[in-house]
Amino acid sequence: MSNTSHCCNQFTPVTNRRDMLTSSATGFGMLALADLMSRQATAETSARQDNPLAPRQSHFTPKAKRVIFLFMHGGPSHIDTFDHKPQLDRDHGKPLPFPKPRIVSGATGNLLKSPWAFKQHGESGAWVSSVFPKIAEITDDLCFIKSMYGSNSRHGGALLELHTGSDTFIRPSMGSWINYGLGTENQNLPGYITICPSLTHGGVNNWSSAFLPAVYQGTPMGDAATPAERARFPFIGGKSKVRRRSLQRMELDLLNRINRQRFKETGPDSDLESRIASFELAFRMQSEAPQLQDISDEPKNIHKLYGLDNDATKDFGRQCLMARRFSERGVRFVQVSHSYKWDQHGGLKKSLPQNALEVDQPIHGLISDLKQRGLLEDTLVLWGGEFGRTPVAQGNDGRDHNPHALTMFLAGGGIKPGISHGATDEYGYYSVENKVHFHDLHATMLHLLGLDHTKLTYRYSGRDFRLTDIYGEIVHDIIA
Amino acid sequence: MPQPVPTFGTSVATIIGVLLTLTPARAAAPTPEDLEFFEKEVRPLMVAHCLECHSGDEPEGKLSMESLAGLLTGGLRGPALVPGKPDQSLLVTAIRHNEELKMPPKRKLPTAERAILTSWVKRGAPWTNAKAAPKPATRPKTSSGPLFSEDQKSFWAFRPLAATPPPPVKAKNWANSPIDRFILARLEAAGLPPAPPASPLAWLRRITFDVTGLPPTSGEIESFLADETAEASSRVVDRLLASPAYGERWGRHWLDVARYADSNGLDENLCYGNAFRYRDYVVGAFNTDLPYDQFVREQLAGDLMKDDGDTEARLRRIIATGFLVLGPKMLAEDDPRKMQMDIIDEQIDTIGKTFLGLTLGCARCHDHKFDPIPTADYYALAGILKSTKTMENFRVVAKWNETELADRDVIANQNRHKKKIAESKQKIEDDIRHAKQILLKASRRRAGDYLLVATGTWLKSRLLVGQKPLGGTPQAAKQPGVILREAESYDRGNAARLTTGYGKGIGVIASGSGLSTAEYDVTIKDAGNFRLEFRLAAVESRPCRILVNGGVVEPSALGRTTGSWYPDTQKWSVEVLAELTTGKNTIRIDRQGPFPHIDKFLIVPMTGDASGHLATLTALASKMANPDGLHAAVLQQWVAHLKATQANKTSALSLWHHAVSDATSVPPTTGPRLAKYAKQPLPQLAAGYASLFTAVDDLWLKQTADGKDKPLADPEHEALREVLYSTSGPYKPSKELESAFSKATKEQLAAQRKAVKSLEAAKPKLPLAMAVADGSIEDLKIHIRGSYLTLGDPAPRGFPKILAGEKQAPLSKKTSGRLQLARWMTRPENPLAPRVMANRIWRWHFGHGLVRSTDNFGAIGERPTHSGLLDWLATELIRRGWSMKSLHREILLSSTFAMSTRFHQRAAAADPENLLQWRMDRRRLSAEEVRDALLFVGGMMDRRIGGTLMTVNNRAYVTGTGHNMKTDVYENTRRSIYQPVVRSALFDVFQAFDFANPSLPNGDRVTTTIAPQALFLMNSVLVDTQSATIADRVLALGDNEASRLTTLYQSLLGRSPDTDETAQATSFLSEYRRAAVEDDKTNNDAKDEAKKVSPEIRAWRALCRVLLSSTEFVYAE
């Protein structure tokens, strides 16, 4: 089969039975199929099309091949981290001089200045507050979007909007769309892994494939309540017993014999053949995945670089290191979650620096490590939460949800380094200049991956769906 | 070119100008100033930011901004402008960027520019040479022709059911049912032979899984193979359809379509603790063969169906409406109207797909792109659901509706009980209000006394403002009059003294048990005001009470945190002001629970009261009669009122504030009565206030006794009355006043509250069902682009016009119309309901539908492969009284169903997707069947029916950052249909084996072949346990290996092994035993449980696992 570039109508739904049976589903299905196809000399001519996870050619030459999303669950305050607002300092304690949004999640009072000092860093002169000293050192690699906005003022809706583009309905997540569009490079690992995700605020819906074939859904490794050290893939480790390798090999050999003998009864059946292959893949995967999770082969300086030598940073640091190891081996989309800690309705002064401390060194480590390995060039790193926070106070030491403005940053993967794009108003309440909606972010990510967001469609329930729905504009200004 | 942007300064000036000259909205003619403002400020903005899109022949959104008329007429979203009313003008909404409509789209205008446009609208939208009247609305006219084209009307799915006789066939002996003739005719036409019949064993295994989701038992196999009568097959079918397992298997199919789950999932994953009743209802409906039309009606409108006095039926129907409530919902949505419309949308989408095979949800924002579903039809249905109460409220987090399940008498009783509780609560409220009135009435008579004491308290508290602790300075304790006490040197109390670990000579007090106390006796030389300073360390706030000589001086002191418990964060702070008498005084600290770590405290004489007002007030207060009669709660309110009014020049207390503040300024002007005291000393002023308060109170009481509650005529009187009677003043009837009630009143209240509590406890807890009821009835308007902020034409409640016709009688205003919808849906004239269900039944028997897109019969869906057969089945379904069991029977006994899965080269080449049904499709067991079959052959299945296995409470969170349910919740042996379905964290076995996404209606599960399935079979606890059980059972049979193998094959696969298989298994067992022995020698893992089991047993378990993983076990032929 030729590997011609596809356009939207080639993404036909898998509706015939053969397609369904050969498509692999769930999680790290990352199936049998690719593997099967490479070995199955007699495969039908359509075999290539039948492997939904085979690497696919993008619509045009990509700048990025994979994505790492560093998700700060809870809604980090942009005005206390990267969006410096001198006017807010000056007007501290005064009422907001323009109307608050019609829909708000809670009552707020007057303007509250940031308790932290901002300084400019690097040649780019990016503003960073004192809570992120290590990220401040690498601002020349980063591109800040200070005019992000969404539309939902609650965690559940905002998480779904960030991950799927819809804050109302069950829709495929961005990682699923990317796997659907590009397939995966390593057929022995899931193409989309989410490390220690939170099961709250939509849980699996944030990494689900919804109506896309289940093969494209994210594979969770552990969950937010599990320390990264103990996070495992389903049915490998944990309660499941992985037997002694040589003995299990004997079982598999007998099983293969029995299953092959079956063809005498059934005649040729590609489903049954792929079933045999799926056991072989499972056997390899259960030895390879734990090897990847075992980071003892990393040198000491790398452990230190990711903050694994420090109690405050070691959990998130391990997640970041794992993300690099997966990306390095061709996993298309890896999400790392710093779970549900960034929701400072109160206790801003105490909790925000603690959160920042936990991720500062690991993020610095990840980006520098990707860079020194030459991986940053084609790995797109994205940092951010589901919304920003209000410049007006909640109580006297907190800020409410604010979907009208947030800051995200990107690095690598064809992004212009050392720039800042867009702006909020003088207090940071609303994005006002070069506004970037989540849809626009999604469109831009797909573009960097060589995919046209208007052409990456899937027909479901009588409609061609897109990650960007009917919206989305590529932010050309941030592309190198 | 963009016009120069006005600077902020000029625009603010302009705006202020506008505000000052603000003319009434819609002024007759704009003034020259108006027009200058428009030309200089407004028009340049429009040119710069709006006209690029909103001008010309085809302006964006059909809105032209080139003229006032264009704005007034508006575009697709309606008028853009309501002169004088910015809040009602879309133009203003759009530039605010707070709503869905945001203009200009990419860049919000600066504050100043938004202010200009807003004030222009407010000013009446003056426009040079504007023609006053807008053009008549040019709303796009509804086309004058018929609503639907002939093509649309004659689309196959909308055509009436055709009476289709089974076609003639050549092979006369093959057909066993009319169904077979439909199938055979097409095969014969294509020149393909039907596959030969399946073997009896394959047929029995297939049909048993198909109908019950379980494998046949050895006994069932034996008796069927032995039955050579003509009725053998039909006996099996009858037995299976009569088994309760039928409802469990087929009910589960329906639950896929009804997107059943035990939790909400979407955002706030709350437990649907009563969803299981709906699941049990569905299982029961299939088992009792509830006619399908009635099944539909009950789910849509069971609560509205006629009550024939049968309580059980009535409750069952209420439970059935859980169908409408079960969907995933955004329960935390700050916009309640959006939340409601989104929930309705989910209902419409589900109803459309489930019963009609129509994607009605697509018509929310615009007419359906492919099917003849106008937006008006969507909102006609939405009106029915808007008039339905699905939710109890739309708060964050919202509550879905639940209905109590009980006999009407029980509910009536319950309601009486509730009423009684409500009345008792009301009585308590009334009594409290009454008691407060009495208390306040008396307290008002002593307003003068309160003024004195409250002012004293307030001045004292102010003494501490800005006071820096002396404790930190060296030699503090040496200063005259200052007393230092080490905290651990208390005279009485129970606080723990910690003297180690804090450094040499340092001791602190910390916890006591229960009520922690520490009392100190101090001797004072000269009475006066003292401040108490403490040195303490604390990580968490532990506020304490401080008492002096038995009286509380501060209910919440020492509550700050310092960062740690250690000496390095010990900090001094000024905590309270205390009045101490000459001689012995007692200072007491107490707290319910542990203390902060207190090191020491200082008692420092205060010199701040230079004016002596405090002394004067104290002296005056000491002379009052009955000082104990003042209530602390009222006093606190007085202090708060003094604080609140201190800067208020118009308050009746302004003169008093002036006097006690030592201000040298001219006293404020008050009324003539108070003015008399303006220059007099404090005692006279106090007496003046006291007598005026009394006089005013008398006046007011007299006036209100005459029934007049107008303000007092004299403004000075009225101002004083405000102090006594304002609901925000010192006599506000706050909750705190209860503490001042008399002992008798308090006891009486406590008794009443206790009675209510026991009444509440006595209220029987009735079971609840997720269910709907009729709400307030209303018709909706079309929501343009799906937003309730832009409403279009009315869309009276009704049914899709392509099916129900364009002329429909309006629905009654007394009911939502759900019952009418349900009846309309199941009328025999509606071809879709029976077609869709007949197709579903076919799909669930054969693995694919006659229409393969089972949930979409629209233009985008597939066309039927056998349209005659589909209509025949649909017609039969109705003719047989909508009995699904009857239709099953017809299908199951057909030759079509009996075909084998035999591969046929020519047929496979001609029809690879088996569209013509030339053979039976081989079928991988579903997630539930795999798990159930494992439990079944292991002999461990718990066959109890119904109930819930959820371990979290109704409406509680099922997932947080992790899973809130016990991790072993799935480790039970109940059938899979009873396992909790948690929407955002599905059971991993279900997830691996293609369980339907429980958030979306799905009548056509996919089957995939993926590694996690293999991993489950290789490694899971379930397969392990079953293998061990089965191996033990087989080994107990005696030591003949051949007969052991026969038993093993019989119990797992329903057949004996052939000689090759026996040889293969025998050699596997011996090789495995040998390898296990070898392996044990090198396995140094002492914790490896495998080592505790003999190689013999391990070999048999391994063989079991292999057979349970085999294709033969996991597939039905």
3-state secondary structure B74-89: CECCECCCCCCCHHHC
Interchain proximity B1102–A459, CB inside 8 Å: no
pLDDT number for residue A24 = 35
Q: Which has the closest alpha carbon to B290: B342, B340, B250?
A: B250
Helix (H) and strand (E) counts in chain B: 42, 21
Distance CA B1022, CA B971 (A): 8
- Stronger pLDDT, A274 or B269, i.e. the higher one: B269
- Give start and end residues of each alpha helix (H) in B971-1088: 988-992, 1011-1019, 1021-1035, 1041-1053, 1059-1082
Cα B1108 to Cα B1114: distance, rounded to the nearest angstrom: 7
Residue B352 DSSP SS3: helix
Q: Which residues contact B918 (CB under 8 A, 6 or more apart)?
A: B187, B192, B193, B194, B195, B899, B904, B907, B911
Check CB contact of B1076 with chain A, cutoff 8 Å.
yes
ipTM higher than the 0.90 cut:
no
CB contact under 8 A, A461 and B856: yes
Rounded CA separation B712/A469 (Å): 65
| pLDDT at site B560 | 86
Question: What does the H/E/C string look like for B95-140?
Answer: HHCCCCCCCCCCCCCCHHHHHHHHHHHHCCCCCCCCCCCCCCCCCC
Q: Please determine, for residue A250, whether its predicted confidence score (pLDDT) is greater than 90.
A: yes
Measured at the alpha carbon of residue B683, what is the angle toward residues B679 and B684, in degrees to the nearest 5? 50
| Interatomic CA distance for residues B892 and B203, integer angstroms | 10
Which residues fall within 8 angstroms of residue A420, CB to CB, at 6 or more apart? A124, A126, A143, A144, A146
Per-residue pLDDT, averaged over B762-783, amounts to 94
Query: Mean pLDDT, to the nearest integer, of A142-151?
Result: 97
Residue A284 confidence (pLDDT) above 90: no
Asked if B315 and A136 count as a contact pair (C-beta separation under 8 A), the reply is no
Question: What is the band of A186 on the pLDDT scale with cuts at 50, 70, 90?
Answer: confident
- Contact across the interface for A20 and B98, Cβ inside 8 Å: no
Comparing alpha-carbon positions, the chain B residue that sits nearest to A258 is B1110
pLDDT in tens, A320-329: 999 999 999 9
pLDDT at B608: 60
Q: What is residue A187's predicted lDDT score, i.e. its pLDDT?
A: 81
- Tokens 């995700």 — which residue? A197
DSSP-derived letter for residue B195 is P
Furthest-apart CA atoms within chain A: distance in Å: 83
Helix (H, G, I), strand (E, B) or coil at B272: coil
CA nearest neighbour of A404 among A420, A383, A425: A425
Residues B333-346 have a mean pLDDT of 95
- pLDDT, one tens digit per residue, over B399-440 is 999 999 999 899 899 889 999 999 999 999 999 999 999 999
Q: Which residue has the higher pLDDT, A132 or B149?
A: A132
Distance CA B421, CA B757 (A): 9
CA-CA distance, B63 to B49, in Å (whole number)?
14
What's the mean pLDDT in A443-469? 92
Structure confidence at residue B145 as a pLDDT band (50, 70, 90): low
Q: Is A83's pLDDT higher than 90?
A: yes
Over the stretch B854-874, which tens digit does the pLDDT of each residue have?
A: 999 999 889 999 999 999 999
Each residue's pLDDT tens digit, A290-314? 888 889 999 999 999 999 999 999 9
With bands split at pLDDT 50, 70 and 90, how would you rate the model's confidence at A403? very high
Cβ <8 Å between A282 and B1012: yes
pLDDT at B1048 over 90: yes
Pick the residue from chain B with its C-alpha nearest to A98.
B111
Residue A25, pLDDT score: 33
Band (B15; pLDDT cuts 50, 70, 90)? very low
Q: E strands, A302-387, where?
A: 333-338, 379-384
Quick one: CA dihedral A230, A234, A236, A238, positive or negative?
A: positive
| Per-residue model confidence as pLDDT tens digits over B242-275 | 999 999 999 999 999 999 999 999 999 999 999 9
**Neighbour count for residue A346 (Cβ, 10 Å):** 15
Q: Say yes or no to pLDDT of B52 above 90.
A: no
Q: Using DSSP, state whether B923 is helix, strand or coil.
A: strand
The torsion of the CA quartet B503, B504, B510, B511, rounded to 10 degrees, works out to: 100
Lookup: tokens for A42: 């007699």
User: Is residue B1088 pLDDT above 80, yes or no?
Assistant: no
Q: What is the pTM of this model?
A: 0.78
Q: Is A122 helix (H, G, I), strand (E, B) or coil?
A: coil
What pLDDT shows up at residue B144?
52
A201·B1006 Cβ contact <8 A: no
Chain A residues touching B924 at Cβ < 8 A:
21, 271
Q: Assess whether pLDDT exceeds 50 at residue B643.
A: yes
Residue B795 has pLDDT above 90, yes or no: yes
Q: Looking at the complex, does the CB of residue B333 fall below 8 Å from at least one CB of chain A?
A: yes
Least confident residue range of A83-97, A375-389, B67-81, B1096-1110:
B67-81
Residue B317 CA to residue B304 CA, distance in Å, equals 9
Q: Do B1006 and A99 touch (CB under 8 A)?
A: no
As a whole number, mean pLDDT of residues A387-396 equals 95
Q: What is the mean pLDDT of residues A26-51?
A: 35
Q: Is the pLDDT of residue B7 over 70?
A: no
Task: Check CB contact of B521 with chain A, cutoff 8 Å.
Answer: no
The span from the CA of B849 to the CA of B240, in Å, is 23
Query: Beta-strand (E) ranges in A55-197?
Result: 66-72, 118-121, 126-129, 142-149, 192-195
What is the pLDDT confidence band of residue B559, given thresholds at 50, 70 and 90?
confident
Give residue B646's pLDDT.
87
* Joined tokens for residue A178: 């990317």
Q: Mean pLDDT score of chain B, rounded to an integer?
A: 89
Q: What is the pLDDT of residue B810?
A: 94
State how far residue B695 is from chain A, nearest Cα, in angstroms: 41
Which helix H or strand E contains A220, and what residues bound it?
A: strand A219-221
Regarding predicted confidence, which is higher, B1098 or B648? B1098
Q: Side chain identity at B1022, as an amino acid letter?
A: L
Comparing A142 with A226, the larger pLDDT belongs to A142
Nearest-Cα distance to chain B for A373, in Å, is 32
Q: Are strands B791-795 and B780-783 parallel, antiparallel or unpaired?
A: antiparallel
Chain A residues with CB inside 8 Å of B335's CB?
A: 103
Q: What are residue B518's phi and psi, to 5 degrees?
A: -150, 125
Confidence bin at A18 (pLDDT 50/70/90): very low
pLDDT band at B322 (very low <50, low <70, confident <90, very high): very high
Residue of A nearest to B93 (CA): A102
Query: With a CB-CB cutoff of 8 Å, which residues 351-390 of chain A face chain B?
Result: none
Average pLDDT of span B933-938: 96
Q: Residue B558 is encoded by which pair of tokens?
A: 């020492």
- Scanning A446-475 for CB atoms below 8 A from B yields 459, 461-463, 473
Considering chain A, what percentage of its residues have pLDDT values greater than 70?
A: 88
Nearest to A131 by CA among A362, A351, A420: A351
| pLDDT tens-digit map of B653-668 | 999 998 888 777 888 8
From A141, A212, A139, A200, select the one nearest A467 (Cα to Cα).
A212
Q: Which residues does chain A have within 8 Å of residue B1057's beta carbon, measured at their own beta carbons? A: none
Alpha carbon distance B1044, B123 (integer Å): 96
In B711-740, the residues whose Cβ lies within 8 Å of chain A are none
- Residue A289's pLDDT is 86
From residue B683, alpha-carbon distances to B461, B463, B623 in Å are 21, 21, 12
For residue B380 the two structure tokens come to 């006609």
Contact between A234 and B1083 using a beta-carbon 8 Å cutoff: no
The partner residue sitting opposite B370, judged by closest CB among A198, A199, A462, is: A462
Q: What is the CA radius of gyration of chain B?
A: 42
CB count within 10 Å of CB B483 equals 18
pLDDT of residue A215: 78
Q: Which two tokens stand for residue A67?
A: 């994505």
Say yes or no to pLDDT of A7 above 70: no
pLDDT score at B23: 37
B853 and chain A in contact, CB less than 8 A = yes
CB contact under 8 A, A156 and B331: yes
For chain B, what percent of residues have pLDDT higher than 70? 95
Does pLDDT of A27 surpass 70? no
